[in-house]
Structure formats: C-alpha cells, structure tokens
C-alpha cells in the first residue's frame, strides 16, 4: 500500500497517516530531491525554466510531504508520532543546509540572473534574488570546515528547538488540580466547572479535575475568587518546564535555552555576523540592531507612563497591593464596574458558528471570497472542519482546515500553518493554497451545543484568519515567495493584526454576534459598552508585549559565550525598564517562551509591535474611506495580501497608504497620549 504522505496531489489523507509512515516518506522524498537536483545541475546551460522552476517544484513537494507531519505533531501528539517527527528533523536540516551550501546551484542561479536579465519578469528576478540571499545565509561561500560546522549547528538546533516545545507540552499536561471543596471554584464560569466535573467522572473521581490548558488557566486567573487557587495555577503555569514550581527540574528547559543561544550565536559568527540578532535582521524590514532597540524604547516612552497610571488606579480600586496572580481578576472586576461588561457574560452572544459566519461575510465584502464547508474531507479529529474557498465567480482559490478547541496532546496557543502553498509552474501543473487555522478555545459545553467565545477569543480567531487570508489570496506563482513565504518576519503580522480591527467595529459586531438561545443580536447598550473597553488597560497590555520583545531581542543581541544566557538576570533588567506588574522571583516565564525558543520569532518578537504600528495606520485608511470600501480593500489586496514575498514590504505599504507608516494611529487606537501631552 502506498505511503499516504507520498500522495502529494490533493489534500492529505489524515485518516490513513500513521507514525510509521513518517520517516520512510521523508527519506524517500529527500532521496528523490537529491537525485533530481543532481540531474538538473548536469545541464550545460541551465535556464530559469529548466532549473529554477523544477527546483521550486522539488522543494514544494518536500514541504507537502512533511507539512501534515508537523501539523499532526502539534495537534495530535503521541509518543510514536513525536519519535518519528524528531527522527526527521536532523534529516531535513541536513538537506536544507546541503542545498543552501550547494555552490553549483548558487552559481547557476547567478548565471541565470545575469544571462536572462532582459527577459526575466519582476517575480522571476525576485525568486532569484531571494534564493541567492538564502544561499549566502546558509554559508555557500564558506570554507569546507566552516560549512560542515554550520550544518552541524542547524541539525542540533532543530533537535533542541523541538525538545524545548515537547517539554513545555509535557510540563503543561503533567499538572492538574483535583478539587473536592466546591468553595474553591467560586466565581469560575459554568463551562469550566462543567468540564472539570466531566473530567473528574472520566477519571473515576469525585469533585472536579482542572487541567492546565490555556482556557482553564485564563478562567481561573480572571474569574476565580479563591486567591489560593489563582496562585496555585499561576505557579504551575509560569514555572512550566523549569527548575522551579510543582515539577521543578522534571522538564527543565534551562539547559536547552543555554544550548540554543550558544549554538545560535555560533551559527551567526560562522556566517560573519556579530550576533544572532544581526543575522535575524538580514531577512527583516528593520535594518539594524540599534534601530529595533530604538523603536521599542520609543514605544516604551509612550506606554510605560500610561501603564503606571493604569496599575496605580487598579491597586487603589482593589484597596491593596496586588500580586501578579491578582491582576487579571481585579482588572476584570474594574472593567465590569466601569463599563458594565464582562467577557464571560458576553459568551452567549458569540457562539462559534455565528462568529465564523460573520467572519466569512467580512472577507466576502472586502475581497469577494466565499467559504463552503466540506464534509467529504479526511480529518485528524472530530473537532476539525474543512472549508473550500472560492472567488466571487465561484472559482476555487484554496481551502483551510479549522481545529478550534483545546484538548490533551495538543500544543497551546493559536496559529496558522501551511498544508500546501500556491504553485503554478510550467511542466508541473498548479496547486492551490491550503492552510491550517488552529486555536485552543474551550470546547462546546454539551453535545449539540456550540462553543461560546469571549470577545478576546473572537479577536484571536480574526487574527489567525488574517494570516490565512495572506496565505490564500496570494497571486504569486512561485512557492518560495507565495503566501507568507519570503515575507520578512516583521511584516508577516500586518495582515493578521489588521483583521482584528474589524472585530471591534459597530458595523461588524452584529454580523458576528447572536444569542446562542434566542438568536437576538447583541443589544446596542452591550455593544456600546464592549466598544468602550478597547482602550481599557491598553498601556498594561502594551508594556507586557514590550517586555517580551525587548527581552527576546536583547537576549540574542547581547549574548556573550563567556557569560552564558543570563536569562533571568536580563529579564529582570528589561522588567526594570518597562514592566509595571512585577512577577515573583520564582516565576520562569522564559522557560516556556515557545515563540522564540521553538518558533520562528527568535530576535523577532518585536515584529508584533512593529506590525501593530503598520496595521493601525493601514486600518486608518479603511476607517477614513469606510471599513468595507471596495477601492481601499482592492488596494490592500493588490499591494499587501496578494504579493507574498514578491514585494518590498515598505514600498508595498507606501503604495497602499501613500506614505510611510506613522505611530500616531496606534496611539490613538489605544487611547494613549504622547509623553509630552500625558505629562
């Protein structure tokens, strides 16, 4: 029977994929790619059509083989799948470094760029320029010994980063709280109590069994009246995979962080960079380490005073000094008093089917795309769904899977990932883009009932859907630059951040809200109160993101092998500059910071704030013209969403907005005054 992972035409057959298929499929495709590349390089006079396009097809096929594996490892993790996935990481890292260091391939790309300069399209020149940059950053011109060392570093980093993520997952699922005293559950939403009771019954226990998944953790911190319970959850969450907390040392990521930073620094040095931060910026919009630090410091000048005012007001209202595990609880209470609105109380108005229908309607009005659920597609779990995506004329343009709920053996957080990317190559046919959209919302409270979202979760869904639109609406035919591929990491959050704005608009909220039982729209008074909460504690939210961004960037920019990572020391320094809510000494947030130690945000977490500036300014253009204005939407589609890595991102923004981005719209959106006015 054919290995289902090697059937790369159409959608993956998730019903047939097993752990034992993974390594054989990856090895088979790697062997095929190597053999095909060797044949391509035998050409005496390679051309764009005879070398570059076939090589794009090879890389695309390899990505299509492994994408379902990476996805399943994140959403349906098991010991067998984890072992198979990890066995492939060094194989893939070795191959990609091998390709990046292939001098014959790099030389052929250079010859094609020069020989065909007058006939290449702009997209084809961009493909060549992008590839040549990647060759340089893979060390194609390095001496043999340094090439070999760079390859070793890439393989080792791939393994370490996967291990980091695994230990966070294992640490998260290792902890639970069995509650028999119902008074501890005071204030918790009904759906959390119900899930806890069901989980206890499944384990043959009385009372309630509370897991450390994200929805439960947030519910306890935000609504739990018991200080004891809040502190216990906070302790377990912020010490995951560390040397502190209830499972101190069991899944300790501290040594892995040290190794990751040391190897990243060495890899940057091998390539001639002074730090990993410098290497990271070689592929981003920001042009220098000082420029990023200055950007973050200037935002801090705006937001830190506002955050201090907000926190002082919160403590005064609470009537006591607050610990870190108290802040979400009292903030929710203050927001409710001030605006008479509660996230939990609004859940019945945001059933997931209604939110999805409204989200799809927003996309239709903006970009003419339509979404149709398909029931004949193989899925990995009963929670998942698949949607066909078509243009205004009904022509298919792609599809996406939705996996919305938290569960055991699923990575926390929310993300968009590729199943396959758009491809239109001569001699290799075409392929439409398909995305995964993954969240960790609380599942439906009972069979036949829909999941109910908070407005914050609605924003998360809009955010990830923005990434999906970026992937689906690309018009670039070459996989290396289609969708989010080739897009600088500090620009890739623009389409996601801007989508959140529609979820705040009074024109859109009626589209995404209807009471789960009555179908009635969100009452106008409730809608007005919800809109009024947008700027509530915007300063505190911003400085939290600035803390993450400055910590990440300085960690990679200032790393010194002689001193080691200095993780907790540096984090304390950063908090001294921007943090207002000071965590306890034993908190170990960094040990589960997957974005930078297991994801793609190393020395790039600042991208969120960078893109917030871009998104607020870009959305201001919609606000000025009308949020569904066809001309504005078409300009955004043509200059940003459809361009992928084919465009210079600043030039694309200027083409859309008519000028370079300004920070003013973000400050106005957050209700934050510049320092001189705030003073």
Catalytic residue among 418, 464, 547, 612: 464
Q: What is the DSSP letter of 382?
A: T
Show the 3-state SS of 315-339.
HHHHCCCCCCCCHHHHHHHHHHHHH
Ranges of H-type helices in 76-102: 79-100
The pairing of strands 434-441 and 396-405 is: parallel
**Alpha-carbon gap, residue 523 to 529, rounded angstroms:** 10
Q: What is the DSSP letter of 65?
A: H
Q: How far is CA 386 from the centre of its chain?
A: 20
Tokens of 21: 């298929």
Read out DSSP for 1-21? Answer: ---GGG--SSS--TTT--HHH
Give the length of the chain: 679
**Alpha-carbon gap, residue 185 to 194, rounded angstroms:** 11
Tokens of 309: 């005012």
Q: What is the DSSP letter of 437?
A: E
Strand, coil or helix: what is 379? Answer: coil
The pairing of strands 370-374 and 415-420 is: unpaired
Cα angle 447, 450, 455 (rounded to 5 degrees) comes to 145
Listed in sequence order, the residues at least 6 apart from 137 whose beta carbon sits closer than 8 Å to its beta carbon are: 100, 271, 279, 282, 283
Asked whether the beta carbons of 508 and 362 are under 8 A apart, the reply is: yes
Strand, coil or helix: what is 179? Answer: strand
**Alpha-carbon gap, residue 407 to 405, rounded angstroms:** 6
Tokens of 36: 């095909």
585 is catalytic: no
| Burial class of 183 by CB neighbour count within 10 A (0 to 12, 13 to 18, 19+) | exposed
Where in the sequence numbering do the catalytic residues fall? 464
């Amino acid at each position: 029977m054919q290995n289902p992972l090697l059937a790369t035409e159409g959608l993956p057959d998730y019903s047939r994929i097993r752990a034992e298929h993974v390594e054989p499929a990856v090895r088979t495709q790697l062997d095929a790619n190597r053999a095909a590349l060797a044949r391509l390089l035998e050409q005496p006079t390679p051309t764009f059509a005879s070398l570059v396009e076939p090589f794009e097809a090879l890389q695309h096929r390899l990505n299509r083989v492994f994408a379902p594996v990476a996805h399943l490892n994140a959403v349906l993790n098991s010991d067998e799948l984890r072992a198979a996935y990890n066995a492939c990481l060094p194989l893939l890292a070795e191959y990609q470094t091998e390709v990046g260091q292939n001098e014959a391939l790099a030389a052929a790309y250079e010859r094609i760029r020069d020989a065909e300069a007058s006939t290449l399209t702009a997209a084809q020149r961009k493909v060549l320029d992008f590839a040549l940059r990647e060759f340089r950053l893979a060390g194609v011109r390095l001496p043999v010994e340094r090439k070999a060392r760079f390859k070793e570093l890439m393989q080792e980093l791939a393994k370490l980063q996967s291990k980091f993520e695994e230990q966070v997952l294992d640490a998260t699922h290792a902890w639970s709280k069995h509650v028999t005293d119902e008074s501890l559950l005071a204030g918790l939403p009904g759906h959390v109590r119900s899930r806890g009771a069901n989980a206890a019954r499944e384990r043959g226990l009385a009372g309630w069994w509370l897991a450390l998944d994200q929805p439960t953790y947030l519910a306890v911190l935000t609504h739990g009246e018991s200080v004891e319970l809040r502190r216990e959850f906070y302790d377990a969450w912020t010490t995951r995979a560390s040397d502190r907390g209830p499972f101190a040392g069991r899944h300790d990521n501290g040594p892995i962080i040290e190794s990751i930073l040391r190897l990243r620094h060495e890899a940057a040095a091998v390539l001639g960079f002074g730090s990993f931060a410098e290497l990271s910026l070689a592929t981003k919009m920001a042009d220098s380490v000082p420029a990023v630090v200055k950007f973050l410091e200037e935002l801090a000048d705006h937001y830190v005073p506002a955050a201090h005012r907000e926190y002082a007001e919160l403590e005064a209202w609470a009537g006591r000094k607050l610990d870190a595990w108290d802040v979400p609880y009292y903030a929710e209470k203050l927001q409710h008093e001030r605006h008479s609105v509660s996230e939990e109380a609004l859940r019945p108005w945001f059933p997931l089917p209604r939110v999805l229908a409204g989200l799809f309607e927003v996309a239709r009005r903006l970009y003419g795309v339509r979404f149709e659920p398909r029931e004949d597609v193989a899925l990995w779990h009963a929670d998942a769904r698949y949607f066909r995506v078509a243009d205004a004329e009904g022509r298919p343009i792609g599809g996406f899977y939705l996996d919305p709920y938290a569960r055991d053996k699923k990575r926390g957080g929310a993300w968009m990932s590729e199943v396959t990317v758009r491809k239109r190559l001569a001699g290799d046919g075409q392929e439409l883009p398909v995305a995964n959209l993954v969240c960790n919302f609380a599942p439906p409270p009972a069979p036949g009932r829909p999941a109910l979202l908070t407005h914050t979760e609605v924003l998360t869904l809009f955010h990830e859907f923005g990434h999906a639109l970026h992937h689906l609406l690309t018009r670039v035919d070459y996989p290396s630059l289609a969708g989010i591929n080739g897009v600088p990491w500090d620009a890739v959050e623009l389409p996601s951040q801007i989508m959140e704005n529609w979820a705040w608009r009074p024109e859109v909220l009626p589209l995404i809200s209807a009471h789960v039982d009555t179908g009635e729209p969100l009452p106008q008074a409730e809608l007005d109160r919800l809109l009024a909460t947008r700027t509530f504690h915007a300063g505190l939210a911003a400085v939290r993101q600035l803390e993450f961004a400055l910590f990440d960037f300085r960690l990679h920019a200032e790393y010194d092998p002689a001193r080691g990572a200095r993780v907790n020391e540096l984090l304390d320094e950063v908090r001294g500059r921007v943090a207002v809510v000071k965590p306890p000494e034993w908190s170990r947030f960094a040990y589960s910071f997957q974005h930078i130690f297991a994801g793609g945000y190393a020395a790039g977490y600042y991208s969120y704030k960078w893109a917030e500036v871009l998104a607020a300014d870009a959305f201001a253009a919609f606000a000025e013209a009308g949020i569904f204005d066809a001309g504005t939407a078409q300009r955004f589609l043509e200059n940003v969403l459809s361009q992928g890595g084919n465009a210079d991102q600043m030039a694309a923004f200027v083409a859309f907005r008519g000028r370079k981005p300004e920070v003013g719209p973000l400050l106005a959106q957050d209700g934050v005054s510049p320092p001189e006015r705030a003073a």
